[in-house]
């Protein structure tokens, strides 16, 4: 079993990985394969398959619980986006009320707010959810440092924050690893 903090740490190491190298499901597979307590041979077909696996048995049941909302999100849970019956995106909930996911819009693995664009939650059988920490959903990402650099997309300010030992560049609502 992977501790939530280890899963989050592994996912943060992957921030900035290009989307063409790692889509959202590949990110979750990488976290499970690379984290202490994970399964180096882990396989999963895709996001819809993962969401529906709750009805499977044995090693084919990847989710042990799931919810049709994001209320009560906790570190280590998986957050999902959906349109109707199509569950098309997944990310890992962090202790900061954010989600680490691979975004085709930003072109890389990012950390963004767990906001109303996310629709569902699930517990993965390999990732232990941190029950002691209940995530408060922030209105926007915390911005604890002074603006630097030039404006980003749509005039958003680019900020540099230090998060858990990693330097993060924040452009609008997107966090990406800084080289």
Name the residue ranges covered by the structural domains of the chain.
4-139
Would you say residue 141 has pLDDT above 70?
A: no
Would you say residue 173 has pLDDT above 60?
A: no
Q: What is the pTM of this model?
A: 0.76
Would you say residue 74 has pLDDT above 50?
A: yes
Instruction: Specify the CATH superfamily of domain 4-139.
Output: endopeptidase domain like (from Nostoc punctiforme) (3.90.1720.10)
pLDDT at 138: 52
Q: Tell me how far apart the alpha carbons of residues 106 and 162 are, in angstroms, rounded to a whole number.
A: 20
139 confidence band (pLDDT: 50, 70, 90)? low
Which CB contacts under 8 angstroms, 24+ apart, belong to 85-91? 86/48, 87/47, 87/48, 87/50, 87/51, 87/52, 87/120, 88/47, 88/48, 89/24, 89/47, 90/24, 90/25, 90/28, 90/47, 90/50, 91/24, 91/27, 91/118
Would you say residue 165 has pLDDT above 70?
A: no
In this structure, what DSSP letter does residue 179 have?
A: -
What average pLDDT does range 103-129 have in this prediction?
95
In this structure, what DSSP letter does residue 58 have?
A: G
Would you say residue 95 has pLDDT above 70?
A: yes
109 confidence band (pLDDT: 50, 70, 90)? very high
For the chain, list the strands marked E by DSSP.
Answer: 63-67, 78-83, 86-93, 98-103, 108-113, 120-124, 158-163, 166-171, 174-177
């Amino acid at each position: 079993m992977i501790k939530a903090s280890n899963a989050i740490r592994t996912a943060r190491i992957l921030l900035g990985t290009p989307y063409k190298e790692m889509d959202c499901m590949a990110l979750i597979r990488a976290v499970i394969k690379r984290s202490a307590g994970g399964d180096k041979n882990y396989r999963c077909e895709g996001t819809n398959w993962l969401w529906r696996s709750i009805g499977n048995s044995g090693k084919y049941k990847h989710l042990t619980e799931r919810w049709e909302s994001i209320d009560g999100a906790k570190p280590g849970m998986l957050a999902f986006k959906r349109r109707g019956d199509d569950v098309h995106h997944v990310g890992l909930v962090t202790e900061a009320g954010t989600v680490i996911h691979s975004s085709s819009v930003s072109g890389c693995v990012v950390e963004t707010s767990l906001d109303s664009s996310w629709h569902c939650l699930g517990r993965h059988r390999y990732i232990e959810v941190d029950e002691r920490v209940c995530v408060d959903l922030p209105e926007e990402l915390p911005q604890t440092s002074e603006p630097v650099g030039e404006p980003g997309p749509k005039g958003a300010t680019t900020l540099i924050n230090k998060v858990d030992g990693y330097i993060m560049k924040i452009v609008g609502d997107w966090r990406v690893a800084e080289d």
